[in-house]
Amino acid sequence: MLQLRVVNGGFSFLRVKRIAVLSATYQSTQREEYKPIKKVMVANRGEIAIRVFRACTELGIRTVAVYSEQDTGQMHRQKADEAYLIGKGLPPVQAYLHIPDIIQVAKENEVDAIHPGYGFLSERADFAQACVDAGVRFIGPSPEVVRKMGDKVEARAIAIEAGVPVVAGTGKPVTSLAEAQEFANTYGYPIIFKAAYGGGGRGMRVVRSYEELEENYQRAYSEALSAFGNGALFIERFLERPRHIEVQILGDKYGNVIHLYERDCSIQRRHQKVVEIAPAAQLDQQLRDRLTSDAVKLAKRVGYENAGTVEFLIDKHDKYFFIEVNSRLQVEHTVTEEITDVDLVHAQIHVTEGKSLPELGLKQETIRINGCAIQCRVTTEDPARGFQPDTGRIEVTFCRFVSSLSDIRKSCQQPGLRFRSILVF
């Protein structure tokens, strides 16, 4: 990912000020649950594992990596203080989904807490519960909240109860093609299939006609089953060319919830985010206030704890609709860190230890937007195969990036910011 930050006086890359932990001025009742974390396992691999290891090292916490047989030489293994094999004999993805091995490694090596990263087990309530049952803290929401938010259908129902607008959709996962046909007959095409128990663009298929229905139903089911271990799907009316805005939230064990403003991820390819901008350019301030307020309201409704993202779609009439909650850290969390100077992984760990948001200096009135940040995904595709995803070594790059940042200038609304055209090779 390429990431750029615009600040007063120019640009800076990948620099995040750390949270200042305030002196203990709170009542003993707030600190009774505080228990420091000394060793963290990341039940993941690659970039996110390394990101969490970095935060742990900065906090003086020992780190543990897990790896599949195929990932023996991967960098995340080398970055941890300890590393252990999981899923022996399994394919790489299945190895990282093998909960018994992960829990066993954690118990045998005195791990205090497990960070799930994103993808794999990060939104699996059974994994969060397995951690709790094993006496290992889960760096994320409670198992019950993960279950509620991970079930996209239940999350929609909770949003409706909280008075947050939602896109028309099924009230429960569909179990047959006939149910999908009935929904399409009621609401018309286009519709979209979505994985009921996962996100990240997996298990999503847009259907524009009856002829496309069966094939896309089967493909969405297979993708969801492969990615999340559950092929259940639900259906929504598909909005054409909406803005996709997501609000970063953070909660603690004491009922405090704040937002760290929004990210715009409207530019996507195959339901995968390509460009992420924080804050969203040219977003009306009143609309921003409603989005962030509803995100916090929804989080408080379920007793949300730790980091998460509430996602909305905005149509051409500036009407917005809740679509889902990602009850985990997102790939794009770093652009939020850049504009707020809040290290979200530090905050996740401290909240899991039992510290409150005010104790960490995180109050809504103190969270400010400072400049703007852009993150870009580099995708590898084979044009000879209809631009299907592919792998290989990057030998030559040629991409022209951002000829004008005038929209971002308007969105930041801070005097003294300087913007330039950027050319990235």
Catalytic residue status for 368: no
Per-residue pLDDT averaged across 131-155, rounded? 94
- Of the two residues 37 and 32, the one the predictor is more confident about is 37
Task: Report the CATH architecture of 33-139.
Answer: 3-Layer(aba) Sandwich (3.40)
Question: What CATH superfamily classification does 2-17+240-412 receive?
Answer: ATP-grasp fold, B domain (3.30.470.20)
Cβ contacts of 5 within 8 Å, gap of 6 or more: 11, 12, 13, 14, 15, 338, 339, 371, 372, 373
- What is the average pLDDT across 130-135? 98
CATH 3.30.470.20 in the chain is located at 2-17+240-412
pLDDT tens string 304-355: 999 999 999 999 899 999 999 999 999 999 999 999 999 999 999 999 999 9
Between 317 and 22, residue with greater pLDDT: 317
**Which residues lie below 8 Å from residue 12, measured CB to CB, with a gap of 6+?**
5
pTM metric for this prediction: 0.80
pLDDT band at 13 (very low <50, low <70, confident <90, very high): very low
SS3 state at 69: helix
| Tens of pLDDT, residues 197-255 | 776 677 889 999 999 999 999 999 998 888 877 888 989 998 988 999 999 999 999 99
Over residues 60-119, the pLDDT tens digits come to 999 999 999 999 999 999 999 999 999 999 999 999 999 999 999 999 999 999 999 999
Say if CB 278 and CB 412 are below 8 A apart. Answer: no
Residue ranges of the chain that CATH labels 3.40.50.20: 33-139
DSSP letters, 302-315, are: TT--EEEEEEEEE-
Q: Of 328, 385, 400, 420, which one is the catalytic site residue? A: 328
CA 347 from chain center: how many Å?
Answer: 15
H or E element at residue 283: none
Rounded Cα–Cα distance for residues 183 and 420 (Å): 48
Core vs surface per residue 285-307: b (16+ CB within 10 A) or e:
eebbeebbebbbebbebbebbbb
Q: Which of 178, 171, 49 minimizes the C-alpha distance to 119? A: 49
At the topology level, CATH places domain 168-237 in: Dna Ligase; domain 1 (3.30.1490)
